[in-house]
């Protein structure tokens, strides 16, 4: 770990938790103040959709002031700038990154359509980091996929810069762009008799993210009082393999943190598999590459899955609670 001002830089950005990413309007100082210390894994202060056009310039100063506060918790601090089709992107970056004094950890870039848009942000961040004596490359980028063109170029976007930490699905703008016939963001459109309208989009984003070793984050569930709808949407993304979900209200944080962490029994079993496999791979264990853990045959593929689950659980602060471990003494 490297300490830079108020920011701790991880040696591997892929290990960062993104179970819950709380969106907060950058034009609302009260809401930004309340966000500090909440149990969200990350908080992004929004200069884009949550800020009216006439308030965007003033919001930059409000965001800087909020970032400079000393009572932030462990959340990863992000700022969402306006997209490159607007007149605001450059000033969003220059007026926030430098004055914030190294407290911006991630720039969220919306409506990304090409690798070049990410690379442009990368170049500007590099100049700002040099100008303000910040470590070059310290600030990450989360790229939002929000339209058909972005989805077509998603693999190039994911690999556009070493700064890219995550791909984020933006369901509302995507639905509008392709003409999906529903007014409820993230909901299945009426008339769809079978399947999932978002499956191709979600899997395309996920595969691109994983092929470049970065995170995949689902977009928000906008009906903030619909706890069951939020949970169902989050469980769906988690089942596919997503790392987390944007949340629009503090009441959604706990559910996201729980849903995107491994289940306790899965974590316990994953740890047991990893430990058993390590024993049997050793000289003392006979250098066996396939072992029985309980009633399950585990080879390297199963071991890889177990390592991922165990790592996710430990990152979320989990510990083994089950008494004993599955029988791992039998091996083939």
pLDDT of residue 7: 41
The full 3-state SS of the chain, as one line of letters, equals CEEECCEEECCCHHHCCCCEEEEEECCCHHHHHHHCCCCCCEEEEECCCCCCHHHHHHHHHHHHHHHCCCCCCCCEEEEECCCCCCCCHHHHHHHHHCCCCCCCCEEEECCCCCHHHHHHHHHHHHHHHHHCCCCCCCCEEEEEECCHHHHHCHHHHHCCCCCEEEEEECHHHHHHHHCCCCCCCCCCCCCCCCCCCCHHHHHHHHHHHHHCCCEEEECCCCCCCCHHHHHHHHHHHHHHCCCEEEECCHHHHHHHHHHCCCCHHHHHHHHHHHHHHHHHHCCCCCCCCCEEECCEEECHHHHHHHHHHHHHHHHCCCCCCCCCCCCCCCEC
pLDDT along the chain (332 residues), means of 10: 41 74 97 95 97 97 96 93 98 97 95 98 98 96 98 98 97 96 89 92 98 96 95 96 97 97 72 72 58 68 69 73 53 40
The whole-angstrom separation of Cα 268 and Cα 288 is 22
- pLDDT at residue 269 in the model: 77
Task: Report the pLDDT value the prediction gives residue 289, as an integer from 0 to 100.
Answer: 58
- Cα 161 from Cα 258, distance rounded (Å): 31
**Predicted pLDDT at 254:** 97
Q: Give the Cα separation of 219 and 132 in Å (integer).
A: 33
The pLDDT score that the predictor gives to residue 323 is 57
CA neighbor of 205 nearest in space, from 160, 244, 140, 157: 157
Bridge partner list, 8:
3
What pLDDT, on a 0 to 100 scale, did the predictor assign at position 10? 46
CB 240 within 8 A of CB 15: no
Q: Are strands 291-293 and 296-298 parallel, antiparallel or unpaired?
A: antiparallel
Supply the pLDDT for residue 31: 97
pLDDT at 30: 96
Cβ(107)–Cβ(121) below 8 Å: yes
């Amino acid at each position: 770990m490297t300490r830079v001002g108020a920011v701790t830089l991880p040696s591997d950005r892929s290990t960062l938790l993104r179970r819950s990413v709380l969106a907060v309007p950058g034009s609302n100082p009260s809401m930004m103040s309340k966000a500090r210390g909440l149990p969200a894994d990350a908080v992004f202060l929004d200069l884009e959709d949550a800020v009216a056009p006439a308030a965007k310039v003033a919001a930059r100063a409000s965001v800087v002031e909020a970032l400079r506060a000393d009572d932030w918790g462990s959340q990863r601090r992000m700022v969402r700038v306006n997209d490159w089709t607007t007149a605001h992107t450059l000033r969003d970056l220059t007026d926030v990154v430098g004055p914030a004094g190294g407290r911006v950890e991630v720039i969220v870039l919306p409506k990304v359509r090409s690798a070049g848009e990410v690379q442009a942000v990368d170049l500007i961040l590099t100049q700002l980091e040099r100008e303000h004596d910040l470590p070059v490359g310290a600030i990450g980028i989360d790229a939002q996929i929000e339209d058909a063109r972005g989805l077509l170029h998603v693999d190039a976007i994911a690999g556009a810069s070493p700064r890219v930490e995550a791909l984020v699905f933006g369901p509302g703008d995507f639905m509008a762009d392709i003409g999906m016939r529903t007014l409820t963001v993230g909901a299945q459109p009426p008339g769809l008799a079978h399947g999932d309208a978002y499956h191709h989009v979600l899997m395309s984003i996920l595969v691109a993210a994983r092929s470049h070793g970065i995170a995949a984050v689902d977009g928000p569930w906008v009906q903030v009082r619909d706890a069951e709808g939020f949970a169902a949407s989050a469980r769906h993304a988690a089942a596919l393999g997503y790392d987390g979900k944007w949340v629009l209200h503090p009441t959604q944080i706990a559910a996201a943190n729980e849903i995107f962490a491994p289940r306790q029994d899965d974590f316990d079993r994953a740890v047991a598999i990893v430990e058993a496999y390590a024993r049997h791979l050793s000289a003392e264990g006979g250098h066996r590459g396939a072992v029985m853990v309980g009633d399950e045959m585990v080879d390297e593929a199963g071991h890889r899955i177990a390592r991922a689950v165990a790592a996710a659980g430990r990152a979320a602060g989990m510990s083994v609670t089950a008494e004993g471990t599955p029988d791992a003494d039998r091996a083939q």
